[in-house]
Amino acid sequence: MSCGLFVTGTDTGVGKTIVTAALAIALRRRGLCVGVMKPAESGCPLEQGQLSPQDALFLKEMSGCAAPLTLINPYRLAQALTPALAAEHEGVVIDLDHIRDCYDQLAAMHDIVLVEGAGGLLAPLIDRSSMRDLAVRLELPLLVVARNVLGVINHTALTVTVARQTSAVLGVVLNNSVPIEQAAEQSNAAALRRWGGAPLLGQIPYSAALSRDYIELLGAELDVAAILQAVPASKNSER
């Protein structure tokens, strides 16, 4: 029986990729076959004449997901804009049914599939659909990554409130993507437990050097058991 979850964030650049990679490694260590997906990635650099989706490639490497990159990342875009706009500028038509089809294929090959959104929850994916709508289309619960800065309580509560209107929310991971400097950052974990609106499922410390070895250790900072327990099995999967 396969299952999956959708990693979103309170903003872009909050640590979704780092947290997804750490979770993938932790799940792999538990003996699970882990698939990853980055349905749409913008801001891809050109390498040898081809767009190179950095998040998708990183997640593929860290998870050991052997699926083809065309399933892991069906849409890659050059401009560092929200996918809907980058796609419009670049003449790419993003199709939710195609993303769902790729996801279903990944789900059939793995025990669990971790899907990383682009930007925050309401970042536009196509004209009338955001990341939130994509999570609904994939029938996946949401894990919210929050950046530990002053203001994170509001950002998290907003994201969780809007997410819950359409999907289940597994919880929140608080990520220190910048060094702790203020009183607020020291108290934010406790504050999120009171006001975040969803369980706090981990706190990732800041590291100036985010090496592969370091990311492998980060799984210990996540409540993997609680995440696994809360993730429902997919209805349509073979495993």
Ligand X SMILES: Nc1ncnc2c1ncn2[C@@H]1O[C@H](COP(=O)(O)OP(=O)(O)O)[C@@H](O)[C@H]1O
149 binds ligand X (CB under 6 A): no
Catalytic site residue 235? no
- Nearest approach in angstroms of CB 225 to ligand X is 22
Separation CA 177–CA 24 (nearest Å): 19
Which of 8, 176, 188, 203 lies at the binding interface for ligand X (CB under 6 A)?
176
Separation CA 218–CA 37 (nearest Å): 20
Which of 78, 207, 226, 232 lies at the binding interface for ligand X (CB under 6 A)?
207
Separation CA 135–CA 187 (nearest Å): 31
- Nearest approach in angstroms of CB 174 to ligand X is 10
- Nearest approach in angstroms of CB 31 to ligand X is 25
206 binds ligand X (CB under 6 A): yes
- Nearest approach in angstroms of CB 114 to ligand X is 12
195 binds ligand X (CB under 6 A): no
> 238 by DSSP, 3-state: which?
coil
Separation CA 211–CA 194 (nearest Å): 33
Separation CA 121–CA 8 (nearest Å): 6
38 binds ligand X (CB under 6 A): no
CA atoms within 13 A of residue 61's CA, in its CB half-sphere: 11
Which of 57, 177, 226, 231 lies at the binding interface for ligand X (CB under 6 A)?
177
**CB atoms closer than 10 angstroms to residue 214:** 14
Sequence letter at residue 192: L
Which of 3, 5, 18, 72 lies at the binding interface for ligand X (CB under 6 A)?
18
234 binds ligand X (CB under 6 A): no
Torsion over CA of 185, 189, 194 and 198, rounded to 10 degrees? 120
Which one, 129 or 177, has the nearer CB to Mg ion? 177
**CB atoms closer than 10 angstroms to residue 182:** 11
Catalytic residue among 16, 38, 60, 235: 38
What does the binding site for Mg ion look like in residue numbers (CB under 5 A)? 16-17, 55
Give residues in contact with ligand X (CB under 6 A): 9, 12-18, 175-177, 204, 206-207, 210
Residues forming the active site: 38
